[in-house]
Structure 1
Amino acid sequence: MNDPSTSQMQNVLKDRIKDLKNETSDLMKEIVGYIDDGNMNECLRNLGNLEDTLKNTYELVDRLSDRIDELERNVNELKQELNKLKDQVKYVKFFADYRDWAKIFMQLLIEKLGGTDNWHKAETGLHYRNRNEPMTEKESECVERLTNLLKEDTDIGLGFTDIKLLLEVRDTSNIMFHKNNQTSREAEMKLYAETLPDNLKIYKPPLKKAFKTISRWRSS
């Protein structure tokens, strides 16, 4: 047999309290009458009945309180799951909106660097440099070329960390995404306006810089 629902228990409690008021009123009248008549045995019996009625009502209140506590816990758990789901949706939508623009930025960067081979050597060189290991002569040359390229637009402030984050945006799996037909201006304005979960906020500054750089490099 299923346990009663909280609403059912609330209704039962209301009815019991109403009955309790009536029973208490009747018992008190009887007790007063028995006291006046000197019939203490009946008086004690009615006091016992009153005690039982109160005890049953208190037990029902305790059960209802436990059920409400359980319900509150379930609601809180559902809220937490809902918030997680909202963040996941924002995560997917964020990369759907900006992945292609990160890709365009990297294509322009590679073109200005002199091609894919130079980019790969610069990327490999940075990998070794970040670990305090020696680079080859060609890797060092390509890293220096990349450094100088970024310095040309000091007002934008692109750095190696920005490029690393833009690569993460670019390389996020295609499986997650739908087609997106935003213009670069629409995407840039959306980026400035939208509020992001904490785990996505690190991508916002490099994307802002990427949009500025795309606009400048494509017009030069």
Structure 2
Amino acid sequence: MAFTDSVVVACTIRRRCTSLLARRLKKKVKPVKPLTIEKKIGGEKNGETRIVLLRKRRNYYPTADKIKPHHSKKLFSQHKRYTRPTLTPGTICILLAGPHKGKRVVLLKVLASGLLLVTGPFKINACPLRRISQNFVIATSTKLDISGVKLPDTINDKYFRRNRQKRAKKAEGDIFNTKKEAYKPSDQRKADQQAVDKQIIEVIRKHPEKKHIFAYFSAMFGLRSSQYPHRMKF
């Protein structure tokens, strides 16, 4: 008797489950709204009925569709940055653009904006701490071990922003006497430059080929006739 009771209970549970599933799976069919309606029209010469649209068509249609702005999901600052695998910290690079083009520099790190933080060092070739895009850089096979070099925490993208002051109103007599103020590095920037240069010069002195590396940094990059950069190995 106990076996038959258990079978009956199992069958009832199964029926209930199937009925619940059937209720959930049933699609709720929404009533379709009619687009037209049949109207009775009076008069001897008119027809008895006429089909009329419930929603009248517009009188004016624009000749061109409106351009809908598609807002980006992420801001530019939140985009993922990609750098070449050859550009690792400690790589000696050649600058191809800017006021210091042709100089050899040391790659310190990749900033959050995707720009490369490089330095001359300043004592050797007068190239200070600066940012540059990876598109204007040639990565050489020569590398320095800068794992022990400690950079200040303040050196980031905001560190290189210049404080642009608003233009003062011109006086009547100072039209030809006014001159643009030249850029002057702050004391903090000078101290950071000296601290970073000191560490990198110590790394170069520990290298077995230090004489060649010092000469390599001080020399400018250039190409002679019948020299093609795509055929050269740096």
Structure (1 or 2) with the greater strand fraction: 2
Structure (1 or 2) with the greater helix fraction: 1
TM-score range, shorter chain: under 0.3
> What TM-score comes out, normalization by structure 1 length?
0.26
Higher RCO structure (Cα 8 Å, ≥6 apart): 1
